[in-house]
Amino acid sequence: MTTLEGLFVVEPGYIAPPNHAVEIEDSFYQRVIGLIKRIFKAQGTVTTIHGTEHLPQEGGALIAANHTGWFDFIFAGMGPHVMGRRLVRFMAKKEVFGIPVIGWLMRSMRHVAVDRSAGASSVDEAVNFLQNGSLVGIFPEGTISRSFEIRTFKTGGARIAQRAGVPLIPCAIWGSQRIWTKDMPPRLGRTHTPVIIRYGAPVDTAGTPEEVTARLEDAMGKLLEENRREYEDKFGPFAAGERWMPHSMGGSAPSTEEADAIAEQQKQARALKQRQKKARDSQKKRKKAS
């Protein structure tokens, strides 16, 4: 294996391609990546990257990644970064764009805001990026998996890839949940936490969105299993009961069923909070009108 910049471990056959002629000129996004690299270097975070040969050096492609930690959008973009400093426009919940500073950064890097109540415009924007030769990233699970297992995929990724007529590339990330994820304190110091990323061959996009999604889920599951075996072999053994380890691997993370129950409880709590806010707003309007 070969190490690049003290941050990325790539396969011996890796040959650095020339920088992408257009995307290298996006100075703001490129500077943000440079800052992130300095932060990761300070933390001692080294990422092993497999499958860069599946990433196009030119043209559009949709990268679909599993989601276990808050930094997954950074890790999913590392493969394209080492392949000519390519950039990925990620699809993210519109709520993220409303967070001070983070929202400004997301808009400045031209990521795609997803409004779940009216998703057509975000799909149009993603398709436009893809058809104009950009890479777009999506998390088919829709949210972070608390169980660290792959959750049931939504079909949006398949539909976007089919409509745009671009490759649909599976990506599996393992280890990022040890840095920062839901329901666990962040570990942002110099922890030397390793991460493994694997990109797979493009998934066949023929057939119904449901058929394509099933193939994507299967491909990503196999990549994730490879990552887990390599992680244990290279960096283990790990003590039983680790919170960042899935229940199926002897860890103390919630089982898939427990994680789904937690997610449903939180969904209902958010819905109740929204109803209460609407009721308060309606009451204020009535008072003003009277």
Region of poorest pLDDT, from 10-24, 115-129, 142-156: 115-129
pLDDT of residue 287: 82
Buried b (16+ CB within 10 A) or exposed e, 184-196: eeeeeeeeebbbb
Region of poorest pLDDT, from 54-58, 121-125, 182-186: 121-125
Residue 177 has pLDDT above 80, yes or no: yes
pLDDT of residue 284: 84
Query: Mean per-residue pLDDT for 42-50?
Result: 97
Assign 174 to helix, strand or coil.
Answer: strand
pLDDT of residue 119: 63
Nearest in space to 48 (alpha carbons), one of 89, 11, 87: 11
- List the Cα angle 249/73/143 in 5-degree steps: 60
Assign 168 to helix, strand or coil.
Answer: strand
Query: Mean per-residue pLDDT for 194-202?
Result: 98
pLDDT of residue 118: 64
Residue 115 has pLDDT above 90, yes or no: no
Compute φ and ψ for 54, nearest 5 degrees: -85, -5
Q: Which residues contact 247 (CB under 8 A, 6 or more apart)?
A: 147, 253, 254, 255, 256, 258
pLDDT of residue 76: 98
**What is the band of 225 on the pLDDT scale with cuts at 50, 70, 90?**
very high
pLDDT of residue 117: 67
Amino acid, single-letter form, for residue 194: P
pLDDT of residue 206: 98
Nearest in space to 166 (alpha carbons), one of 129, 195, 196: 129
Question: CA 105 to CA 100: how far, in whole Å?
Answer: 9
Query: Mean per-residue pLDDT for 88-95?
Result: 94
Q: pTM, whole model, 2 decimals?
A: 0.93
**Tokens 């990433």 — which residue?**
55
Q: Measured between alpha carbons, how far apart are the two ends of the chain, in Å?
A: 73
Rounded to the nearest angstrom, the gap between the alpha carbon of residue 254 and the centroid of all alpha carbons in its chain is 20
Q: Which residues contact 188 (CB under 8 A, 6 or more apart)?
A: 43, 179, 180
Query: Mean per-residue pLDDT for 182-189?
Result: 95
Sheet holding 47-50, edge to edge: 2-4, 8-10, 47-50, 195-199, 168-174, 61-65, 135-138, 88-93, 112-114
Region of poorest pLDDT, from 52-66, 132-146, 272-286: 272-286
Tokens of 93: 């919940």
**What is the band of 33 on the pLDDT scale with cuts at 50, 70, 90?**
very high
Of all helices (H) and strands (E), which one includes residue 35?
helix 27-43
DSSP assignment, residue 99? S
Average pLDDT, the chain: 95
DSSP assignment, residue 247? G
Region of poorest pLDDT, from 34-48, 58-72, 73-87, 266-280: 266-280
